[in-house]
C-alpha cells in the first residue's frame, strides 16, 4: 500500500506535542510492515537542531510550485529528508514567509494572525505533492492544520486527476479542543465555493472551522483511543462538534496510540542509569531511583515512594485537583517530582510546594527530555488525573518502566490502564489505579489507596510487573490503522 501521512509537525524535525511523536512513529511502523510511506510536513528551519541539514540529508526535490491562496498565488518548493535509521520518505514543504518562524503556531503564546492562510497553503501544497509524487492509495491527515485537505481532495482533486479518484482519505483528531476556528471571511482563502460554508460542512457558529471540515469530508475519521471516540460524540466532551461526529456513525473509529519502544523502553533507554527488564526490575529500578533522587536533589530514601508528574501544567491535566488537595497531598511519606511548564498559577503552585517541602518535593519548571526518561525509570507512581485525555502517552511509558499510574478513567487513560479491583488482582490483570468522578476526593482516594498498596510488596510487584508486560507497541496500533485504510479505499472501489 502507498500511504501519504501529513501533519503540521513530526519528530525529529519539529515538535510541540504528542502529534509529532505519533506522526513519525506510525509512519515508521507502517514502513516496517512493508508499506511505502511518505511523510509530508512544513519545513521549519528555526526549529531544526544544529547540523540537521547534514544529519537528515535535507536536499531539494522537484521544481518550485505555485498554489492559490485566496485571490493570489503563493509559491513554495519541496525538500526531501531522511529520518535516521528509517526508510520513510520525508517531504518538507518549504515556504519561508509562512514557516521560517520561531515556533509552528504561536509567538509568545499568541497565535499567528495568518495561521489560516499558512495552513491553507500547506494543505494545497500537499495536494501538489500527491500529484507530483503519487499516486497514493491513502492520504492520512492529522488535526486542524490539515483539515482542509480531505475537502480539497473530495471537491477538487478527484475530479481533476483520475489517479486520485480512488485515493482514500483518513482524518485523525488528536485533541478536539484545538479546532482551527477562524472568522468567516477566511473562507475566501480556501478557494472553495461559499456553498460549502454551511452548518453541515465548514461553518461553525458563524466561523470557518478546519477541524470540522476534516471530520465532514474525510472517508474515515479516527481519534486516538476508543473511549475518546465515544466521549466526543456527547455534549460533555464534543466541544460543539458532537453532532458532526455522531453523524459519522461507523466511519468514526478510536485507535489507541502506541509507544515507540526504540526510544521508550527500560531495556534500551540510553538516558537511564541502568537498563532493566521485568526479570531485573527489583534490583535495577532501585538503582535508577537512587540516581533520580540525586539528580533532582531529594534525599536518597529507597523506602519512600517517589511520585512523579511530567505534564503541561494546566487545569486540563488535573493540576486544579492537586491544588485543591492542599496539605492532604503531602499527608504521607512520599517524595514528589514535577516536570513541565504551563499556566503561571500552576507553575507557581509546584514551586511553592518545593519551597515549603524542600526534602519532599522537586519542582522543575522546564522541558528536559533526558530527565523525563530518568523520572519514568526512577519513580514508583505516576500521576495523570487529567480532566480529559484523548490518549495520553506517559501512562503507557510508566507501565513499561514499572512505574504504576494513577489516572482519571477517561479517554486513552481508561483504555490503557486496568484499574486495581479485587477481581483484577485475583486475575492478575491490574496495571494501575483510577478514579471515575473528576473530583479532589476521587483523586485522593485513588492516590491514597495506591500509597497504601505500595507497602504490600508482593501485590505491588504483581501490579508493576503486569504493566511492564503489556503490548503497547505501535505494531498493534498500525494493524488497526491498516484496517481503517482499507475501509477508506473500499469507499472508492469501482470508480
The span from the CA of 167 to the CA of 136, in Å, is: 6
Residues carrying CATH 3.40.50.2000, the chain: 2-258+475-490, 281-472
pLDDT band at 26 (very low <50, low <70, confident <90, very high): very high
Whether 80 shows a pLDDT value over 70: the answer reads: yes
What is the phi/psi pair of residue 424, to 5°? -70, -25
The span from the CA of 411 to the CA of 256, in Å, is: 9
The model's pTM: 0.91
Point out the least confidently predicted range of 5-19, 266-280, 440-454: 5-19
* 443-481 exposure pattern, b = at least 16 Cβ within 10 A, e = fewer: bbebbeebbebbeeeeebebbbbbbbebebbbeebbebb
The span from the CA of 439 to the CA of 385, in Å, is: 9
**What's the pLDDT tens digit per position in 241-256?**
999 999 999 999 999 9
Mean residue pLDDT of the chain comes to 96
The span from the CA of 79 to the CA of 53, in Å, is: 11
pLDDT band at 22 (very low <50, low <70, confident <90, very high): very high
**What's the pLDDT tens digit per position in 255-299?**
999 998 988 999 999 999 999 999 999 999 999 999 999 999 999
Question: What is the pLDDT averaged over residues 93-121?
Answer: 95
Q: Which fold has domain 281-472?
A: Rossmann fold (3.40.50)
CB 122 within 8 A of CB 65: no
Which CATH superfamily does the domain covering 2-258+475-490 fall into?
Answer: Glycogen Phosphorylase B; (3.40.50.2000)
Q: Is the dihedral of CA 222, 166, 10, 85 positive or negative?
A: positive
Whether 494 shows a pLDDT value over 80: the answer reads: no
Angle 443-444-447 from CA coordinates, rounded to 5°: 85
Amino acid at each position: 500500500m502507498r500511504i501519504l501521512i501529513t501533519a503540521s509537525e513530526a519528530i525529529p524535525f519539529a515538535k510541540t506535542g504528542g502529534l509529532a511523536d505519533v506522526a513519525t512513529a506510525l509512519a515508521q511502523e507502517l514502513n516496517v510492515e512493508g508499506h511505502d510511506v511518505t511523510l509530508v510536513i512544513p519545513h521549519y528551519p528555526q526549529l531544526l537542531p544544529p547540523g540537521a541539514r547534514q544529519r537528515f540529508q535535507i536536499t531539494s526535490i522537484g521544481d518550485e510550485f505555485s498554489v492559490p491562496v485566496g485571490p493570489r498565488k503563493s509559491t513554495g518548493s519541496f525538500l526531501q529528508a531522511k529520518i535516521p535509521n528509517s526508510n520513510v520518505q520525508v517531504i518538507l514543504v518549504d515556504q519561508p514567509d509562512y514557516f521560517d518562524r520561531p515556533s509552528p503556531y504561536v509567538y509568545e503564546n499568541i497565535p499567528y494572525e495568518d495561521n489560516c492562510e499558512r495552513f491553507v497553503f500547506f494543505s494545497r501544497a500537499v495536494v501538489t505533492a500527491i500529484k507530483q509524487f503519487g499516486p497514493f492509495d491513502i492520504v492520512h491527515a492529522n488535526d486542524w492544520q490539515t483539515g482542509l485537505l480531505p475537502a480539497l481532495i473530495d471537491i477538487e482533486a478527484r475530479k481533476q486527476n483520475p489517479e486520485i479518484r480512488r485515493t482514500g482519505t483518513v482524518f485523525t483528531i488528536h485533541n478536539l479542543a484545538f479546532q482551527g476556528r477562524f472568522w468567516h471571511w477566511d473562507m475566501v482563502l480556501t478557494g472553495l465555493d461559499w456553498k460549502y460554508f454551511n452548518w453541515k460542512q465548514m461553518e461553525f457558529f458563524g466561523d470557518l472551522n478546519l477541524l470540522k471540515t476534516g471530520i465532514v469530508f474525510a472517508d474515515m475519521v479516527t481519534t486516538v483511543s476508543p473511549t475518546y471516540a465515544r466521549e466526543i460524540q456527547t455534549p460533555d466532551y464534543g466541544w460543539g462538534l458532537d453532532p458532526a461526529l455522531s453523524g459519522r456513525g461507523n466511519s468514526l473509529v478510536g485507535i489507541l496510540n502506541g509507544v515507540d519502544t526504540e526510544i521508550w523502553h527500560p531495556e534500551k533507554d540510553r538516558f537511564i542509569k541502568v537498563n532493566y527488564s521485568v526479570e531485573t526490575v527489583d534490583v535495577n529500578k532501585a538503582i535508577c531511583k537512587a540516581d533520580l533522587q540525586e539528580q533532582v536533589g531529594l534525599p536518597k530514601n529507597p523506602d519512600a515512594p517517589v511520585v512523579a508528574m511530567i505534564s503541561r501544567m494546566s487545569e486540563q491535566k488535573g493540576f486544579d485537583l492537586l491544588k485543591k488537595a492542599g496539605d492532604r497531598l503531602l499527608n504521607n511519606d512520599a517524595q514528589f517530582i514535577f516536570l513541565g511548564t504551563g499556566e503561571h498559577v500552576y507553575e507557581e503552585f509546584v514551586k511553592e510546594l518545593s519551597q515549603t517541602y524542600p526534602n519532599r518535593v522537586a519542582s522543575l519548571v522546564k522541558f528536559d527530555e533526558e530527565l523525563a526518561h530518568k523520572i519514568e525509570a526512577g519513580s514508583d507512581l505516576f500521576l495523570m488525573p487529567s480532566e480529559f485525555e484523548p490518549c495520553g502517552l506517559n501512562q503507557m511509558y510508566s507501565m513499561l518502566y514499572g512505574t504504576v499510574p494513577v489516572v482519571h478513567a477517561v479517554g486513552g487513560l481508561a483504555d490503557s490502564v486496568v484499574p486495581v479491583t479485587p477481581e483484577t488482582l485475583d486475575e492478575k490483570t491490574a496495571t494501575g489505579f483510577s478514579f471515575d468522578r473528576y473530583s479532589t476526593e476521587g483523586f485522593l482516594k485513588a492516590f491514597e489507596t495506591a500509597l497504601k498498596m505500595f507497602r504490600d510488596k508482593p501485590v505491588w510487584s504483581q501490579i508493576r510487573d503486569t504493566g511492564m508486560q503489556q503490548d503497547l507497541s505501535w505494531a498493534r496500533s498500525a494493524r488497526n490503522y491498516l484496517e481503517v485504510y482499507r475501509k477508506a479505499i473500499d469507499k472508492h472501489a469501482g470508480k
